[in-house]
Chains A and B, each alone.
Chain A
Amino acid sequence: MRPEDLLLPTPSGVCCKTGGFYIDPTRPVDRALITHGHSDHARAGHGAVLATQETLDIMRLRYGEDFAGSTQAIRYGETVSLNGVSATFHPAGHVLGSAQIAVERKGCRIVASGDYKDVPDPTCAPFELIPCDVFITEATFGLPVFRHPDPDAEIARLLHSVTLFPERAHLVGAYTLGKAQRVIALIRKAGYRDPIYLHGAMETLSHYYQSRGIDLGDLRPVRDMKKGELGGTITLCPPSALKEVWSRRFPDPVTAYASGWMRVRARARQSLVQLPLVISDHADWDGLRDTIVATGASEIWVTHGQEDALVHWCGTQGLKARPLDIVGYGDEDETDGVSNEGEAGNPI
């Protein structure tokens, strides 16, 4: 069968007519399969939602109990059959609970990878490579200028700054779901044992991560602290808080921002932070290319980000590739130059 007969790209997400479902639809539908909890992929208001337990929990924490008509949890490696179409969830390595969804019928397998990264992350299950005929990939960092550095080295820069400016507070802007918890875990991995302070918006999800057995150490709400006590401390906050009146409660803060976008100076400068940390939860240019080749797929569909460059590259490798032009991925919650949501939200 033709891949388009199995999964049809539409402006509001890929649709499986035979199976009667959409994957990560950007408008309310009867049945949705959700790859992960970032709000540009996981929206409220669907009839039935199939996702990993973590993704369902995250959606419930963000949208409230009534976020969907009904829900069904699925484990990694588990397959469900929907009107003769089988769907299997596999780890995507992006954030806690993130999954790639392999859709299969009559010997044709398409993998919708959602957002993914192929490097280790202490806060979520590692990316699993699934051979397929068609691979649907993101392209958030789909330009050769994006090669993410070793995240431990980026954290070392943060900790060096804390040593060098012990009287100043260090404020780290990070997306509330995934990035913040990964940054905290990396700071712990580097041996930092002091309490780490949280902006109010970070508390719920960070505590949820802890409840799932992820060790983030001593986390405390920053709201209980006095200005004088915050010199030499590290506080995590949503990126937008860096520019809000909220940040004035800190003594002469060093502002940091953990995002793959920080690789490009013009973007980092526009965010006005003093310590850009290049830490990303998306595959970089090398990761995208390696993954595409390793899936063995002969056809590549590119969803969001820098589609042009990745599609061009696929062409040079003799792979059939097309951009999907789905409207609405990567542009959630953009405000004033810094996005609070998934990194796919280009901060400009």
Chain B
Amino acid sequence: MNRFAELLDRLAYEPGRNNKLRLMTDYFRHTPDPERGYALAALTGSLVFQHAKPGMIRALITERTDPVLFGLSRDFVGDTSETIALMWPVPEVQPNFVPTITDVVTTLNTLGKTQLPAQIARWLDALDETGRWALLKLVTGALRVGVSARLAKTAAAALGDKDVTDIELMWSGLEAPYEDLFAWLEGRGEKPETTDPAPFRPAMLAHAIEGTDFEKLDPSDFMAEWKWDGIRVQASAGVNAHGDRIVRMYSRTGEDISKSFPDLLESLNFNGSLDGELLILRDRRVQSFNVLQQRLNRKAVTPKLIHDYPAHLRAYDLLVDGNEDLRELPFEIRRKRLQSFIARHAHPRLDLSPLVPFATWDELAAARADPASAGAGEDADAVEGVMIKRKDSPYVPGRPKGLWWKWKRDPFTVDAVLMYAQRGSGKRSSFYSDYTFGVWTMIDGEQTLVPVGKAYFGFTDEELIKIDRFVRNNTVERFGPVRAVKFGPDEGLVLEVAFEGLQRSTRHKSGLAMRFPRIARLRWDKPPKEADRLETLEKMLAQPAKREPVLRPVAR
């Protein structure tokens, strides 16, 4: 457990993807089976056991410490579970064992609820601060160290110079502690045979199209469809050796999200594998992403949640029909197969994403600018742009060049004034690279800037150096890693901020929250007094999705 704890500790502070990979691969290389396998299971979120409730953990510490000291410590540390890990009283006689992850996982799988508190206390007695912190993360089921399942699998694949795609393909057929997987990766064993009837097949992704790309592309080689503003998913289903039907829903990175959508799983009566968009439909109308978000990340999927937020699958592509793998076929043919497949397996929760007819790029641009008149009708608000797919493209895992393009709607933009800047982390730790910006509004008869969002990308490296210099030269106040900069009607820096949508929010003083904000341009030329007003944003909130048709997409 100590080594795993050390790994989690390092991962939690390391922002760089490649560095995270190095840390994990190093761990897998130097940790024996089955320990590393359970670690991989923990990192990929594949462990299933009864999680301990925060209340139970708190009760453990209350029995053991002075409540005044616990209260003062909790206030100082700011996190209950970390406070417990740090102030846990070490017993006079330390246990002569250190629990391994294997001990923890196998014990939790079999332990009754009533025995849980005493067992966790015994483990806490035997571990050090970092070990206790990691244990509490593990048993409460929230690692949160900035590692996706895919990244952990990529680190494992690097052990044997293998492609992560291979691991993803076999993943759902594997079980912790994955000894067969590690044996294969280290060249000591055969590639694990998987007989999973509903495996994940790595998704095909698109490149963003640039204005100049169109000249090189012939519209007659392509088909287009709406890009729906939901979650890209893959639904796979089949029958296993025992004759049981297995149905699974995966995110585009291969995380199994079946548990969150039992209502949708029930509605899928096919054998095969579909690529599509998960949406919420009410009265056959596609709801906005904001509505879908209400259903995501919920711990418990209650009947009420299912009733209020009915999940729907809108199909884009057919990868497998029955036992037939279609991925080598051209998109145009797969599309025909998809139409008849959806017709055969008709269900109110499943439908086909329609094509967008066009003969020239200008026609497609017009459809993208006004999806309502181009076939999306009342669902136009849920259209995020168009997808452009080569008619002859096979279904290739990853992001191959030249086959699929995405052409997103133009973002909304607003001119806002830089108010605060925070240092970044890792490579950016000497740069002020996270920016809080505001717009004008009248408060108590005075023109005042109110913060409306925060952005930390969208600018070039060169622009970053310039903003960093501006921040350092115009600091008026410091709060930890944050600096307040000079701003007023005639001084300050105006940022053109691009964003995808607005939501009401009680968290922000302005009452608004932006979706996906980024810095589109630096407006050194613009005096701050000419920046936008809060009222403009509020108007956008009242009437969404009215945007001017523009042929050329914004450069970034």
Contacts and interface: CB of A to CB of B under 8 A. Distances in A.
A268 interface: yes
Contacts of A165: 19, 22
B76 A270 contact: no
A264 B78 CA distance: 9
B353 interface: no
Given A145-B83, A306-B72, A348-B480, A272 B423 contact: yes
Interface stretch (B9-17, B147-155, B250-258, B275-283): B9-17
Contacts of B13: 268-269, 273-276
B69 A337 contact: no
A243 interface: yes
B66 interface: yes
B160 to A, nearest CB: 19
Nearest to B475: A336
Tell me whether chain B's interface is mostly helix, strand or loop, or mixed: helix
A146 B76 CA distance: 11
Contact of B69 (A272, A274, A313): A313
Contacts of A220: none
B429 interface: yes
Contacts of A268: 13
Contact of B73 (A245, A270, A309, A335): A309
A309 B15 CA distance: 35
Interface in B76-96: 76-79, 82-83, 86-87
B366 to A, nearest CB: 47
Contact of A144 (B22, B73, B426): B73
Given A145-B83, A275-B13, A336 B480 contact: yes
B425 interface: yes
Contacts of B360: none
A291 to B, nearest CB: 18
Contacts of B14: 274
Interface string A223-267: 000000000000000000011111110001001000000011110
Contacts of B23: 164
Contacts of B128: 149
Contacts of B300: none
Contact of B481 (A247, A265, A313, A337): A337
Contacts of B76: 143, 145, 264, 306
B480 A263 contact: no
B6 interface: yes
B10 A255 contact: no
A143 B429 contact: no
Contacts of B82: 264-265
B12 A336 contact: no
A336 B432 CA distance: 12
Interface residues of A, number: 41
A243 B475 CA distance: 15
Nearest to A146: B86
Contacts, number: 100
Contacts of A145: 73, 76-77, 83, 86-87
B87 A144 contact: yes
A247 B430 contact: yes
B430 A337 contact: no
Contacts of B65: 144
Contacts of B86: 144-147, 263-264
A312 B12 contact: no
Interface in A63-109: none
A146 B86 CA distance: 7
A306 B478 CA distance: 24
Given A164-B26, A263-B86, A272-B481, A312 B73 contact: no
A157 interface: yes
B352 to A, nearest CB: 47
Contacts of B73: 143-145, 309
Contact of B22 (A164, A248, A272, A309): A164
A309 B429 contact: no
A266 B79 contact: yes
Contact of A255 (B78, B129, B429): B429
User: B69, B78, B423, B425: which has the most chain A beta carbons within 10 Å?
Assistant: B69
Contacts of B10: 274-275
A245 B79 CA distance: 33
B61 to A, nearest CB: 10
A335 B79 contact: no
B467 to A, nearest CB: 14
B429 A247 contact: yes
B480 A270 contact: yes
Interface of B: 6, 10, 12-15, 19, 22-23, 26, 65-66, 68-70, 72-73, 76-79, 82-83, 86-87, 128-129, 423-427, 429-430, 478, 480-481, 483
26 contacts: A144-B69, A144-B86, A144-B87, A145-B86, A149-B128, A149-B129, A164-B22, A242-B429, A242-B430, A243-B430, A243-B481, A245-B430, A248-B430, A255-B429, A263-B129, A264-B86, A268-B13, A270-B480, A273-B429, A274-B19, A306-B72, A309-B68, A312-B68, A312-B69, A313-B69, A316-B66
Given A143-B87, A145-B73, 19 more contacts: A143-B69, A144-B69, A144-B70, A144-B73, A144-B87, A243-B429, A243-B481, A245-B430, A246-B430, A247-B429, A252-B427, A266-B77, A271-B481, A274-B13, A274-B19, A309-B73, A312-B68, A312-B72, A336-B483
A-B residue pairs, 5 tightest by C-beta: A145-B86, A144-B87, A337-B480, A337-B481, A272-B425
